[in-house]
Amino acid sequence: MLKNRSKFVFFLSFIIIFSCKKNETTDVKSKTDTIEMMQDSAVNEHKGREEKTVSTYSTYKGAWFDIEYPAIFKVENSLKSSTSSEGFDSVFFTSPDGKVQFYIFSPQWSGKPGDIKIQENEKMLETKAETQNGIFINRWTVAAKDGSYFRSFEESSEIEGKINKVFGIKYASKEDLERYREEYLHFKNSLKQFAD
């Protein structure tokens, strides 16, 4: 009888342990499925956000240049061409929310972009100048004294020909800068300059 009882206890213990293991396995599988669903949801949400930020571009024709900008941006002509009766040497492109603004100054030969001078309510944060392959590059960033925005510029000019251009971006925060980084790079890379 004792022998049968110990077999019964062993059998009962086995059933209890097995059912606990099964519940643990089910719980782990359930948790794993939930985590995978959350990851899939996050990936799909991220993809959705990426698809929303993919821009279509329009071409702006300046006096001596063409450049592509996000089609949803507002265009604001700035400096009239100093060497042509038609068109502009510089222009601003502003995002719909007003938090980011692209800038280009591209005259026929060379010139000074008077429309981006530092203002009384701004301060210089940094400047850096270097020469690369016969091109002088000057970079600088200014900020509003109240911290409401930053403006970063890059001027490049050929040392021999003195032909210059200036790209700029104004942004309310680092997050806004990052949000439009790809569009800004596309903007810069799309510039086509004409001499005649």
Residues 118 and 22 grouped into a single domain: no
Q: Which residue segment(s) compose the domain that 47 sits in?
A: 1-54
Query: Which of these, 183, 184, 177, lies nearest to 99 by C-alpha position?
Result: 177
Residues 127 and 175 grouped into a single domain: yes
Residues 63 and 117 grouped into a single domain: yes
Residues 13 and 87 grouped into a single domain: no
Q: Are 56 and 71 in contact (CB under 8 A)?
A: yes
pLDDT averaged per 10 residues in sequence order, the chain, 196 residues: 48 45 44 45 44 74 94 95 88 97 93 92 95 92 97 90 89 96 96 83
Domain final residue pick, 35, 54, 73: 54
Residue showing tokens 């392959």:
133
Instruction: Report, in angstroms and rounded to the nearest whole number, the Rg of the chain calculated over CA atoms.
Output: 31
**Total count of domains within the chain:** 2
- In the chain, the amino acid numbered 151 is R
